[in-house]
Structure 1
């Protein structure tokens, strides 16, 4: 039996967008939706439940229940057939989401937040969640092209195999096309185009291009047979990684990347490439981590 779709919620506009996306994802998969709100106890004097010195709403837990009730109602309005439950946890949100990922099929979060989930994509937080979650993490951002394809970043590594599988399954669920993009370069994240390119003097670019196209074809071959209903367009491009991915995301409804890789996408979630994708993609991004 598949686990639920889990969404982190803090009542910000971004988290409402995450709830809407999560409800759609749950409906597509035929699973339930779990709305998770995490908060920390700011001081020992803050009442956690109903206070004898004030109205019931004075307690942190009462406030949390009210916050989550909004999300549950919103999700039920978006997808009435999806079963929605909620969980309130007193702990650090990152720790909570990691724990929730153990039995979830997908975790959905907004790109910005308030309170407990504030700064989810600032610094190392998003990197840490994507690197340690036991299930794929979908970050809702940008304006997805509803008629666009699922965009898959392919690097041909064993670690990226899970991302390929996820992208094919997602394209099938959405009844969308799949654009498999393999961005490659020689040695550095830059591309020379002119005949004076010094790399052209020491590297057989045509042979290199043929090899990269083979890597792309091999990464997709087995999945094409399992998902014959998915129309696949594959593209192998010699370019800089970040601009190529960001530009391709303009017309996509979802960008799928692996948590780790090699070649063109090496260190995708460890440095500037991951930050660029998470902060500048024009559509939602799903990060898929290979199983341990």
Structure 2
């Protein structure tokens, strides 16, 4: 994967200058073209029962001009090619169009904050864009200009998790990359094993065998990625384990693979990704595309 074009979605009203700074740093590091985008969603919807605001077009033009000026100010110090895109409308629709039009390799965005009941149920702009899965999404949560030095990639051996690890390695090649796999043996399964006569020693050997198998698969993934990072296998619920890692301060960036398996999961981000996004103090990379390991 080569990063040639980066889209950075900037919510100016949320003070997301750190999103622009991270995107500018990445664009400079990769010699990529950068598009700073902002959607003006604050215009009231037309209602025939109410008098229309005076000169709606003039109001929209003024808001667009102010947003363009703000984005250009953010890009003043950038030593890369920067384009500015501002439109009135839904942010996720603008972002998706720009990703398609520019064949973007990476979207950089802030975590966002739910603005209403619909967003609290179905997710923010970041959630909606991630679900579409047009390109990897970097959610910026840290207000720092430092490069990524410690990256953790969560690997469940799906093509999506491999894509996330691969993208993380590409985004931050100098960083130390650690591959982590969390596995859990369901309590009901363990109880069933004991009920049919499995001894505790056999159950322990079963757990150890699963851990050793995971280590072997992680070594294979590490070889495919051609990185020299550490590998780690932890027991427990994946979401809980990754949240613990995300809160530990041991990583600047955590990478996750995501996949919508049915109508519900396409509407709402998977529980693991959502919990990590909510709890993490570091940036989070989400990748949904399946990259080949061949």
- Residue 66 of structure 2 is matched in structure 1 by 66
The Cα of 1:134 is off from its aligned counterpart by 0.9
**Residue 254 (1) aligns with residue 253 (2):** yes
Q: Distance in 2 between matches of 1:163 and 1:218?
A: 16
Secondary structure of 2:76 counterpart = helix
Q: Distance in 1 between matches of 2:25 and 2:254?
A: 17
Query: Do 1:7 and 1:34's aligned partners in 2 also have CA atoms closer than 8 Å?
Result: yes
> Which segments of 5 or more consecutive residues in structure 1 lack a partner in the other structure?
51-58, 192-197
The Cα of 1:291 is off from its aligned counterpart by 4.8
Query: Do 1:148 and 1:251's aligned partners in 2 also have CA atoms closer than 8 Å?
Result: no
Match of 1:88 among 86, 89, 104: 86
Greater Cα shift, 86-95 or 10-19: 10-19
Q: Distance in 1 between matches of 2:121 and 2:94?
A: 18
The Cα of 1:113 is off from its aligned counterpart by 5.3
Q: 1:241 to 1:114 in 2, by over 3 A?
A: closer
Q: Distance in 2 between matches of 1:134 and 1:95?
A: 12
- Residue 244 of structure 1 is matched in structure 2 by 241
Q: Distance in 2 between matches of 1:89 and 1:274?
A: 29
The Cα of 1:110 is off from its aligned counterpart by 1.2
Match of 1:42 among 41, 44, 64: 44
- Residue 101 of structure 1 is matched in structure 2 by 99
The Cα of 1:156 is off from its aligned counterpart by 0.9
Q: Distance in 1 between matches of 2:99 and 2:172?
A: 22
Q: Distance in 2 between matches of 1:291 and 1:98?
A: 19
**Residue 223 (1) aligns with residue 225 (2):** yes
Deviation string for 1:228-274 (max 9, x for gaps)? xxx41111111232232223232211111111399xxx99x744322
Q: Distance in 2 between matches of 1:29 and 1:118?
A: 39
- Residue 56 of structure 1 is matched in structure 2 by none
The Cα of 1:12 is off from its aligned counterpart by 3.0
What TM-score do the two structures reach when normalised by structure 1? 0.77
What TM-score do the two structures reach when normalised by structure 2? 0.77
Query: Do 1:113 and 1:119's aligned partners in 2 also have CA atoms closer than 8 Å?
Result: no
- Residue 12 of structure 1 is matched in structure 2 by 13
